[in-house]
Amino acid sequence: MQASPSSLKETGRIRTLVISDQSLVLAELRKFIGVVSDIVLIGEVADSSAATLLAEKLQPNVLLLDGTASAGGSLATLAALKAGSP
């Protein structure tokens, strides 16, 4: 996981954060993102509280949210993410 945020313009790559508590989903997304040259995986988390904090810190261009991830529910996670980064 890379830690320093930068904009899409600076890197020329789509900075992506994955939120999923499914190890198989994460593994397959890592493989896919690893072979696509204009996408970079900047972080991955399994729960909503960590997702919100990491999204605020890393400022990804794209969030991939597993529909069944996190104890608080995906819709609650999405609302928290939107509130923190409109």
- CATH ID of 11-84, from 3.40.50.2020, 1.20.1050.10, 3.30.1130.10, 3.40.50.2300: 3.40.50.2300
pLDDT score recorded for residue 8: 53
Would you kindly state where each structural domain of the chain is located, as residue ranges? 11-84
pLDDT by residue for the chain (86 residues), tens digit each? Answer: 444 445 555 568 999 999 888 889 889 999 999 999 999 999 999 887 788 889 999 999 998 888 765 556 777 778 888 887 65
pLDDT score recorded for residue 3: 42
Q: pTM for the complete prediction?
A: 0.76
Task: Judge residue 33's burial from the number of C-beta atoms within 10 Å of its C-beta, 0-12 exposed, 13-18 middle, 19 or more buried.
Answer: middle
pLDDT score recorded for residue 15: 95
